[in-house]
Amino acid sequence: MSRKILVTGGAGFIGSHLCERLVKKGYDVTSIDNYFTGNKDNHVDGVKYITGNTGDIKWSELDTPDIVYHLGEYSRVEQSFQDIELVYKFNTLGTVKVLEFVKDRGCKLIYAGSGTKFSDNGANASPYAFTKAQNTQLIINYGKWYNISYAITYFYNVYGPREIKNGKYATLIALYKEKVKNGKNLPVVLPGVQRRNFTHIDDIVDGLILVGDKGQGDNYGIGHHESYSVIDVAMMFSNYFNVDIEELPERKGNRITGDLVTEKIKSLGWLPKKNLKEYIKNERRR
């Protein structure tokens, strides 16, 4: 029989790619999304879409899935200082509802944790980091208290098609692609030496499906082993597209370093297949 999968945040950047792959595998896929950063342009044929916040929808009316991929949370570090009420609503309240659903229905939970857990300031870096760290611990406790089946993943700076390219929720690679397309300067938030393990969306989805099939427990970091500073990335774009770099003041919550934790995902057979340099070169050829 076809597996039933529920994806929160299924119309977002990562969620839509996951839904697309799951449908190709022949699974019965349902998405829940409030379209805060999700987009109906990301809809995938064959997916059932439910509009709403995870904290507000009628969970009792949903079919019981085999797996819940919980990706639908607020996910911006620096902006979270201005959006703290939304962070609390989407992350804290919403995740409790998801956990209660998983507990009551006996399905497996795959949670998208935050790599800020492994960074220099950890859970205290921002409202976003704080709520994500709390959720991670709560899921671990639900595993102990109620014997739920779960696995917690951590994404490292995901890039690829469908990234948010404009506005305050834009991601770095998509923002730079849009800047060079329009011949504009590339903003670098000082000090510029903050390093990131940029990971292609296809590799992230490979890891998510693998963890859904085989993973149990915490610390499934899905990230490319190569890291680049923000200034390194800006220089790559600048050299390939002949645009200038513009320095911006340092921002609160902007981590400098973070540990790459990929031992558990690699033990399942995962390895990244794509790298950032080739991706940027291919963008130049278009």
Could you tell me which residues are beta bridge partners of residue 238?
Answer: none
C-alpha angle 196/233/190, rounded to 5°? Answer: 75
Token pair, residue 261, equals 């934790």
C-alpha 75: how far from its chain's center?
A: 7
Beta bridge partners of 156: none
pLDDT at 285: 62
pLDDT digits (tens, 9 = 90+) for 130-147: 999 999 999 999 999 999
Q: Confirm if 63 and 4 have CB atoms less than 8 A apart.
A: yes
Both tokens of residue 87?
């962070």
Q: Are 126 and 81 in contact (CB under 8 A)?
A: yes
Separation CA 50–CA 6 (nearest Å): 10
d(CA 185, CA 247): 10
Task: Please name each of the domains of the chain with its CATH number.
Answer: 4-285 (3.40.50.720)
**In the chain, what is the straight-line distance between the N-terminal and C-terminal CA atoms, in Å?**
42
- pTM confidence score: 0.94
Which residue in this structure is represented by tokens 């990971």? 199
Helix (H) or strand (E) holding 189: strand 186-189
What is the spatial distance between Cα 80 and Cα 116, in angstroms, rounded to a whole number? 13
Report the alpha-carbon distance of residue 254 to residue 126 in Å, rounded.
Answer: 9
Whole-angstrom Cα distance, residue 186 to residue 173? 11
- Could you report the per-residue pLDDT of 69-103, keeping only the tens digit for each? 999 999 888 899 999 999 999 999 999 999 999 99
Amino acid, res. 267: S
Question: Which of the four pLDDT bands, split at 50, 70 and 90, describes residue 157?
Answer: very high
- Residues 46-61 have pLDDT tens digits of 999 999 999 999 999 9
Band of pLDDT at residue 255, cut at 50, 70 and 90: low
- Which residues, 6 or more positions from 16, have their beta carbon under 8 angstroms from its beta carbon? 10, 38, 42, 43, 44, 162
The pLDDT mean for the chain works out to 93
| Nearest C-alpha neighbor of 161 from the set 62, 30, 245, 44 | 44
